[in-house]
Structure 1
Amino acid sequence: MSQNINKIVLILGANSDVAKECIKKYVAKGFSVIAASRNLQSLEEFVHANNLNSKVAILHFDSSDFGSHQKFYDALSVKPHIAVYAAGFLVENEIALKDFSGTQQMMQVNYMGAVSILNIIATDESNKNLERIIGLSSLSGVRGRKSNFVYGSTKAAFTTYLAGLRQELSHRRIKVNALVIGYIDTKINAGLELNKNLIMQPDYVADFIVNAGNTFTIVPNFKWKIIYFILKILPESLVAKLP
């Protein structure tokens, strides 16, 4: 723990269920956390309830307000050692197909906002602290499937961006990880009909984030690893038959 005492983790989209678990786990490992989100009240209540006030700073961050991102980053009194992009937004495919506003918001939160702020963080070569960037992506982005391809396309784009960013930052020895995640028991999935045998808990997923190593693609849970590899190699004719 002692080696992390002076290290800062910036969590963007810190109000998600997984992000909140990450906050607790990073603090337990000795990090200080900057938790950034639009919903400050929810974060403040969470931090207070878990007695984390001394180790967690709460800041306003709107992933869709691209024009504010540079100002947000410049205002950080200490630049991060680790940056985690955990913001996410989901609209069911049938709705997204008929209402572009939902599609647009998914694009803005899941991809455009991520690229906007992470470009700023990654290109700040004056920040000698930066060690790692972690992005939360999804199994939905591995192959296009008719049940969720609009949402999946935003996650596919994000994973591709992170893969290129990993190469871009390799000469500075900055690690980049993409968490390719399946179903989680979180508010973003509330109301969806999901296979209960495949649902993971937020604290379980958070362990993989906080303990990320050198591997670029991290797929929590062996069942999802199997699904991931099957999706990667499955012929398009069979993918078309999936829900």
Structure 2
Amino acid sequence: MAGRKTLLLVGATSDIGRAVASRYAREGWAIVLTARDPSAARRDTDDLSVRTGEPVAVLPLDVLALDTLAAFVDALPVLPDTVVCVVGELGDQNRAEADPEHAARVMATNYLGPSLLLGILADRFAARGHGTIVGVSSVAGDRGRGSNYVYGSAKAGFTAFLSGLRNRLARGPVRVVTVKPGFVRTRMTQALSLPPLLTAEPAEVGDAIYAAAERGRADVVYVRPVWRLVMAIIRAIPEPIFKRLRL
């Protein structure tokens, strides 16, 4: 991988993860993918390597195994130039209300594990003197809603973590970017009826992430800009009115 920039992609088997890997590979980056099940990721890497001619490596990583995260970073074959974390689990809100273990998994997958991993990488980047961190959060974290507040609260925590990390590192050479895709047509949302205007395709998200991380200056990116307006309106609704809505 010498002589070319390296991307570390956390959450390689997701639809968004595949799109991000493909976008960076087309730009000539070396790709290091992580997945809980490396064998599942390798099916995609073989195809990606053939189509792009770029090297792709796969490493096992479970972001819920918190005591392994520092060792994972220390064992990387090369410290990446950019890390993109797309790990997420929508979960089931009704189940989460009745099953604390399910709720805890959703919270840990969307907030705790990714935040701790990116915090470790941020320290390594700062010590080296450069690096870009991209965390994929969600518009669901902009305001808690009864239909998905367990997932939304975890994404709100992740958004706040990225904001604080960005503030802490603002005077140095490390960038921290928060990406909020809104609705995305993926396997995770295939059972939902999604409005076309607000729904992005995975490739669209991959392009937006690459542009924000490698070409842009924005700190917080809504993949479809209309979401910025939508969520500004939702955040502005007074609480006495908001709590009577079914959102």
Deviates more, 1:141-150 or 1:181-190: 181-190
**Inter-partner Cα distance in structure 2 for 1:46 and 1:225:** 33
- Aligned-pair distance for 1:197? 4.2
Contact kept, 8 Å, 2:45 with 2:57, in 1: the verdict is no
- How far has the Cα of 1:116 moved from its partner? 1.4
Match of 2:14 among 10, 16, 23: 16
Calculate the aligned-residue CA RMSD, in Å: 1.7
Superposed, which structure 2 residues align to 1:38-187 within 5 Å?
A: 38-50=36-48, 51=50, 54-124=54-124, 125-128=126-129, 130-187=130-187
Match for 1:230: what amino acid?
A: I
Q: TM-score w.r.t. structure 1 length?
A: 0.92
CA contact (8 A) 2:29 2:54 kept: no
| SS of corresponding position for 2:69 | helix
Give the structure 2 partner of residue 6 of structure 1.
4
8 Å CA contact 1:85–1:134 kept in 2: the answer is: yes
Runs of 4+ in structure 1 deviating by more than 4 angstroms, as ranges, are none
Q: Spell out, residue by residue over 1:192-234, the C-alpha distance to the aligned partner (whole angstroms, 9 max, x if none).
A: 3433443211001111111112211100113323212212322
Deviates further, 61-70 or 171-180 = 171-180
1:216 aligned partner = 219
Q: 1:27 Cα shift?
A: 1.0
Q: Structure 1 residue 235: deviation in Å?
A: 2.0
SS of residue paired to 2:137: strand
Structure 2's unaligned 5+ residue stretches are: none
Once the two structures are TM-superposed, the CA of residue 5 in structure 1 deviates from its matched residue by 5.5
SS at match of 2:25: helix
Instruction: Return the alpha-carbon distance in structure 2 between the equivalents of residues 115 and 14 of structure 1.
Output: 17
Q: Distance in 1 between matches of 2:127 and 2:183?
A: 38
Q: Identify the match of residue 232 of structure 1 among 204, 222, 235.
A: 235
SS in 2 for 1:133: strand
Structure 1 contact 5–31 (Cα < 8 Å) conserved: no
- Of the structure 1 ranges 100-109 and 221-230, higher mean CA displacement relative to structure 2 is found in 221-230
Structure 2 distance, partners of 1:191, 1:235, is 31
Letter in 1 for 2:128: N
TM-score, length-scaled by structure 2: 0.91
Task: Give 3-state SS (helix, strand or coil) of 2:84's partner.
Answer: strand
Amino acid at match of 2:127: S
Q: Deviations over 1:145-193 (max 9, x none)?
A: 1111111000000000000000111122211111112111111223234
Gaps of 5+ in 1: none
1: CA distance between counterparts of 2:57 and 2:138? 28
Looking at structure 1, the residues matched to 171 and 102 of structure 2 have their Cα atoms a distance apart, in angstroms, of 38
Paired residue secondary structure (2:4): coil
SS at match of 1:123: helix
Aligned counterpart, 1:37: 35
2:118 maps to amino acid: L
Distance 1:239 1:216, change over 3 A: farther
- Whether the 8 Å CA contact 2:25–2:54 is kept in 1: the answer is no
